[in-house]
Amino acid sequence: MSENPLAPQHLRFPTDASALTARIWPASATRTDDGELVVGGIAASDLVAQFGTPLYVVDERDVQSRAVRVRNAFTEAFERIGTRSHVYYAGKAFLTTQVAAWMVEADLRVDVCTGGELAVALAGGVDPALLGFHGNDKSDAEIARAVEVGVGTIVLDSHEEVQRVARAAADAGVVQRVRIRINSGVHASTHEYLATAREDQKFGIPLTEAVTAAEAVRAEPSLAFVGLHSHIGSQIFDESGFREAARRLMDVHATLVATGPVPELNLGGGWGIDYTEADSAFEPEDVADALAAIVAEACAERDIPVPEMAVEPGRYIVGPAGITLYRVGTIKPVTLSDDEQEPATRTYVSVDGGMSDNARPALYGADYTARLARTSDAPAVLTRVVGKHCESGDIVVNDEYLPGDVHRGDLLAVAATGAYCWSLASNYNHVGRPPVVAVADGVPRILVRGESIDDLLARDTGVVPGA
């Protein structure tokens, strides 16, 4: 068997279509002697027997160890240049009360961007002083609540927020710490929808207006200016964007230091993870060392103190630790070439979920890796894993080689679904959102229960109670 001519260039024909590449799958992912997929010490079939499919599975120990690794990497790198660092977990990647508690245990702070995320973080036991609150369109109620509970830092995303946050803080009789999110103009190498520092988009204050914004903050007695914030995008593999954004922010930072204190600098997050064999993710130690070197050099050139540093990873911490389990349904080989000698065929493998539990392929053209929960010696065939929704774009894995004996009833696992899958989940076609189960040391526990038909009907006002 050879590579299918329909396969994209990055997808190589596998020597083993059942192999689990360590950098893509959860740290605990392995196979039993008879080939069954195991995560957190629990076989996929046992998880499905208890919780059904689709099912989000999160390796709890992997999440915790990745959080600690990031914290240690930045602590050590910035201690070497004479300053402290703060790691904020970007809650938008995946946030539940128990995930928030894991971050507290790992000594991380948490970043939220809506009133709902704020409520979850607080319910999970996060000290509000260790929270950062983002958002390009914070409501007055969200701002007031953040000030009321004592959120450590509110990130200002526009000029008008200066006055709005100042009023809320004055009404509460407190001085609110704030950062200013700067649109650095750096064009990160990522999908257009994931690039957050390009000029023509909604986030941040232009670099040329940063000094004016900071002066406005300093003029408000109820605000304390903490520093600048930058976020150039997510799922980025090219470090040049981070370097350039840091350089541009340091120029403004130095200007502001000349007229008042600027204790911190937040360089955001956004480094990518490995979804497929073609990806090549940064190691957190490499990111930390590179950013520390940039900041140290910039401060030395400008003869200014090195500020305390902050970063906001999310995907790196939870993404690789999660998988999604599906039940295979319809199998449909589609021949796309009439070459009798070598017809080009793609096998469509339908599963019992789709874009309602993983919107990323439809939103961004995101690629994933899939494996059957069992091993097989059957020759690999090019497949497209698709969902059950009424959309042609309902694709879970666009291109993957799976064993040719894949059949209805098989369990299929998609790797690296820990970030932005549950967060973006919907009830499209009135499909209930799946449960999320954490696994550790052979024990599963529910983080979020799945939705039933009763849940879907509960908010429909036309339903007659008891009918």
Q: Report the alpha-carbon distance of residue 346 to residue 336 in Å, rounded.
A: 7
The answer to whether the peptide bond before residue 361 is cis (omega within 30 degrees of 0) is no
DSSP-based three-state secondary structure for 231: coil
Is 299 a catalytic site residue? no
CA distance 250 to 248: 5
Dist CA 332 CA 322 (whole Å): 28
Distance CA 18, CA 7 (A): 18
Length of the chain: 467
Token pair for 343? 């017809």
- Provide the residue type at 92 as one letter: K
402 phi and psi, to 5 degrees?
-120, 160
Residues 6+ apart with CB under 8 A from 294: 242, 243, 246, 247, 250
Select which of 113, 299, 390, 421 is catalytic.
390
| Neighbour tally for 286: CB within 10 Å | 14
- Closest CA relative to residue 372, chosen from 322, 417, 326: 326
CA distance 211 to 219: 12
> For residue 359, which of 404, 331, 391, 394 has the smallest C-alpha distance?
394
User: The tokens of 250 are what?
Assistant: 């340091």
Residue with tokens 């001085």: 175
Helix 97-105 crosses helix 115-123 at what angle (to 10 degrees)?
60
Q: What is the largest CA-CA distance in the chain?
A: 79
**Are residues 307 and 291 in contact, defined by beta-carbon separation less than 8 angstroms?**
no
Give the integer Cα–Cα distance in Å for 44 and 34. Answer: 13
Q: From start to end of 198-344, where are the E strands?
A: 205-206, 223-230, 264-266, 308-311, 322-335
Of the candidates 286, 292, 288, which has an alpha carbon nearest to the alpha carbon of residue 307? 292
Dump the DSSP string for 98-121. Answer: HHHHHHHHTT-EEEE-SHHHHHHH
Q: Which residue has the tokens 């003029």?
A: 219
Active site residues: 390
